[in-house]
Structure 1
Amino acid sequence: MTEIPIDLDKHRGMAAQKATDIRRVVADVEANAKLLRETQGVVEIQLLAVPATSWPEAVAKARYVLNLYSASLAPSDTHHRDLVTAVLADLTRLSGEN
């Protein structure tokens, strides 16, 4: 028995290698999405539990919620997308950020 691993991908056709690569990428994306959902849940619990103590904290919370809302909009809903963009720009301008 040899201790050198055999690269089985070399013994398969290109289509099979690409299919394996796609499955690996999809598995990675699904794992990352699960981690992101878990992290998002923790962040949202903290946002609900702790009231903002300053305008910058309130602005950060508002940005988070507006970005969530914007992500749920249909691509064709340009009116609401433009409204979210304008409000985010207002928040940036009024908070003194560049």
Structure 2
Amino acid sequence: MPPDSVDLDGHRSGTEQQATDQRRQLEAVRQDQGRLEERQATFDAFMSAGPARNWPEAAARAQYVIQLLMDSYGVRDPRQRELVARVFSDFATLTGDTPKGPEAQ
């Protein structure tokens, strides 16, 4: 804050200050969401730039899409989560990678 500016926070009542803090936090969340959406769009463009070059890349793309769908639909059913975890485990086994996704959380 510049030295000649007035600190308005010190002149607010507790309720007013709480409302101001909430507005500031909400704005910070909105900015974070905007940055996240930009990063996700960049990653989506990267993932769809061309065909997968090998099975591990195809498995990584499939895992990404499955995770997006699970997050979008709010999958909480333990049976469905277990099924996805097993598919991710199969991907890891077939590609010689370490498991990623719901079972690793």
**TM tier, smaller:** 0.7 to 0.9
Instruction: Give the whole-Å Cα distance in 1 for the aligned partners of 2:82 and 2:39.
Output: 28
Instruction: Give the whole-Å Cα distance in 1 for the aligned partners of 2:46 and 2:76.
Output: 32
- How many aligned positions are there? 97
TM alignment of 1:1-98, pairs within 5 A: 3-98=3-98
Instruction: Give the whole-Å Cα distance in 2 for the aligned partners of 1:57 and 1:76.
Output: 27
TM-score, normalised relative to structure 1: 0.78
Letter in 2 for 1:8: L
Deviations 1:41-83 (A, max 9, x none): 2322232231111222112211210110110223543332222
Q: Structure 1: 5+ residue runs without aligned partners?
A: none
RMSD of equivalent CA atoms: 2.2
Letter in 2 for 1:61: R
Letter in 1 for 2:48: L
TM-score, normalised relative to structure 2: 0.74
Q: Structure 2: 5+ residue runs without aligned partners?
A: 99-105
Q: Percent identity?
A: 37
Q: Tell which deviates more after alignment, 33-42 or 50-59.
A: 33-42
Q: Compared with structure 1, are the counterparts of its residues 25 and 62 closer, same or farther at alpha carbon in structure 2 (3 Å cutoff)?
A: same
Letter in 1 for 2:91: L
Instruction: Give the whole-Å Cα distance in 2 for the aligned partners of 1:3 and 1:25.
Output: 25
- Structure 1 segments (4+ residues) deviating >4 Å: none
